[in-house]
Amino acid sequence: MSFAARLVAAWYAPRLTPLTLPLVPMSALFAGVVALRRALYRAGLLRAQRLPVPVIVIGNITVGGSGKTPLVAALASALAARNWRPGIVSRGYGRRKGAGGEAPLLVARDSDPDLAGDEPVLLARAGFPVVVASDRVAAASALLAAHPECNVILADDGLQHLRLARDVEIAVIDAARGFGNGWRLPAGPLREAPARLATVDAVVALGRDEGAGPPAWPGAFPMTLAGEVFHRVNAPEVTAGADAFRGAGVHALAGIGNPERFFAQLRVLGIAVAPHPLPDHHRLGATDLALPGASAILMTEKDAVKCGGLADDRCWYLPVRARTDPALVTRVEEKIRGRQAA
């Protein structure tokens, strides 16, 4: 197991471990820097930049996946159904900077995920204008220049990117993993204290198995990820149900924030797999697919976009969609309509 994987496992242990205990002084420093930066914005010494259209930020207070990107896609679709014209900005975590360096990059359906990031490519394939840049203000400005029809912007992640003024903040919790050991980075998985959730406009809790994990945040909107139909990676028009993978020799890859969630979803579908957890945003290579004797290799859609020409007929991905309470969309729309009225 890599050091990164051991560290993540230690973060979600019930208490500090020999690996995380020495990191506590750095956690105190990290928390102090975060608090100071937020105080500078509150005092007006650092200024957030407001855009001409409403901004919705979907983020979390922990490191790693919690269902942010599926929620962004679902919320964008729901707003589009209510006659909004959403655009999406993202940092494009893990991407390799191209010749343009830090310049905002307009993402297309066929963009190279190495340059654009895997999640932004997924969002572009969902049919939305997407721009990536480390500076979300620059990304949003570039998006509005390229797509002046957009009248609302969703930021995939960026709860801590305070330079981008926002009209709605949504924090997503992975209810199965909760807040880990409760410590700030790097001794624990927290970017901010759980009390931060009391200041956002909505908390969304990605579902958990009955009786497992900590309770969801009080008043949180529930969310589940649904998906039952697999697509062949090298021919997405070819589909199959779970029954096709209930034999022997089925392997599963997952380079997401919480790989166990994908493996658990496969088990719920009745598929027994040999699991291969990978680091989040892992760039798949030929060695990852070199699984002798594998009758099928199942993966997330996020992993599939990075396969390129490596995938053979054994490789299948499972698209998922977020399901949440329609009242969440209503709350968001009320907030952004209030911004327009003002």
Q: What is the mean pLDDT of residues 204-209?
A: 76
Contact between residue 200 and residue 93 where contact means Cβ atoms under 8 Å apart: no
DSSP string, 221-255: EEEEEE---EEETTEEEEEE-GGGG-SSSEEEEE-
Percent of the chain with pLDDT over 90: 79
Q: What's the pLDDT at 191?
A: 96
Interhelix angle for 118-125 vs 68-81, to 10°? 20
195 Cβ partners below 8 Å, 6+ apart? Answer: none
Which of 237, 253, 267 lies closest to 303, judged by CA?
Answer: 253
How many Å apart are CA 143 and CA 126, to the nearest integer? Answer: 16
More confident residue, 4 or 35: 35
Q: Bridge-partner residues for 155, per DSSP?
A: 57, 89
Q: List pLDDT tens digits, range 50-68.
A: 999 999 999 999 987 788 9
Q: What's the pLDDT at 18?
A: 95
Strand-strand pairing, 230-232 and 315-318: antiparallel
Which of 87-96, 169-178, 211-220, 295-304 is the least confident region? 211-220
Q: What's the pLDDT at 1?
A: 66
Q: What's the pLDDT at 342?
A: 60
Which is it for the CA torsion 122, 294, 7, 202, positive or negative? Answer: positive
Per-residue tokens: 154:
């969703």
Q: What's the pLDDT at 212?
A: 46
Q: What's the pLDDT at 105?
A: 95
Q: pLDDT at residue 209 above 50?
A: no
| Band of residue 210 on the pLDDT scale cut at 50, 70, 90 | very low
Q: What's the pLDDT at 10?
A: 94
Q: pLDDT at residue 38 above 80?
A: yes
Q: What is the mean pLDDT of residues 292-310?
A: 92
Q: What's the pLDDT at 211?
A: 43
Q: What is the mean pLDDT of residues 245-254?
A: 95
Amino acid (one-letter) located at 50: R
Q: List pLDDT tens digits, range 137-172.
A: 999 999 999 999 999 999 999 899 999 999 999 999
Which of 195, 200, 197, 140 lies closest to 169, judged by CA?
Answer: 200
Contact between residue 175 and residue 207 where contact means Cβ atoms under 8 Å apart: yes
Q: What's the pLDDT at 17?
A: 96
Q: pLDDT at residue 257 above 90?
A: no
30 Cβ partners below 8 Å, 6+ apart? Answer: 184, 185, 186
